[in-house]
Amino acid sequence: MQEIRLGNERVAIFHKAGEWKEGLDFLTENTSFIQAGTWWYHKGKDLRSHKHIINKRIAERTQEVIVVLSGRVRVDLYDENRKIFHQEELVTGDIGVILKEGHGYHIMEDNTRVIEVKNGPFVSVEKDKIFLDGLTQPGVDKNE
């Protein structure tokens, strides 16, 4: 697992497909707005049935997790001056956890498939995002 920092702040975590550990392995700290972890168990393992108790939580920012199912994606991380300070290539089986700061994605192969999970609710593009390319109009994706 690779932690990316900007100054003293942890802004992203990249977990490569070959880095899995047996059992439950959380990539994020309990204090993160989004929780991401991996499971690696063998046949016959039962995970205890449960439901989650309602607890009020205040999320001040949106964080997201991407899982590359197939293909290749380049993740660009931006500093507060809208300059790229880190690029990471993710391939099939890799996980990216974006905790803060700006980010963009560049699809590097045809038929790339990615699962994105983020905390919500999603309000709107206008109220949830600042585009770093200077353009004021979002692209064709409704949640871009």
How many structural domains are present in the chain?
Answer: 1
Q: Can you say whether the dihedral through the CA atoms of 39, 13, 142, 57 is positive or negative?
A: positive
Whole-model pTM: value is 0.85
Task: Establish if 142 belongs to a structural domain.
Answer: no
Structural domain range at position 104: 2-42+60-128
The answer to whether residue 134 scores a pLDDT higher than 80 is: no
Between 128 and 84, the higher pLDDT residue = 84
% of the chain residues with pLDDT over 70: 92
Q: Is residue 48 part of a domain?
A: no
Question: In 3D, which of 18, 33, 23, 28 has the Cα closest to residue 120?
Answer: 33
Task: Please indicate, yes or no, if residue 29 is contained in any of the structural domains.
Answer: yes
In a domain, 143, yes or no: no
Whether 47 maps to a domain, the answer reads no
Give the mean model confidence (pLDDT) for residues 127-132.
Answer: 81
Residue 120 lies in a domain: yes
Look up the CATH number of the domain holding residue 73. Answer: 2.60.120
Could you please report the per-residue DSSP string of the chain? -EEEEETTEEEEEEE-GGG--SEEEESS-TTSSS--EEEE--TT--PPP--PPP------S--EEEEEEESEEEEEEE-TTS-EEEEEEEETT-EEEE-SSEEEEEE-STT-EEEEEE-S----HHHH---TTS-SS--SSTT-
pLDDT tens per residue, range 102-116: 999 999 999 999 999
For residues 85 and 75, what is the distance between their CA atoms, to the nearest angstrom? 11
Mean pLDDT of 78-107: 95
| Residue 127 vs residue 14, higher pLDDT | 14
Euclidean distance between CA atoms 109 and 106, whole angstroms = 9
Q: Which pLDDT value is given to residue 126?
A: 81
Mean pLDDT of 45-66: 91
Vertex 125: Cα angle to 73 and 112 (nearest 5): 20
Classify residue 31: in a domain, yes or no: yes
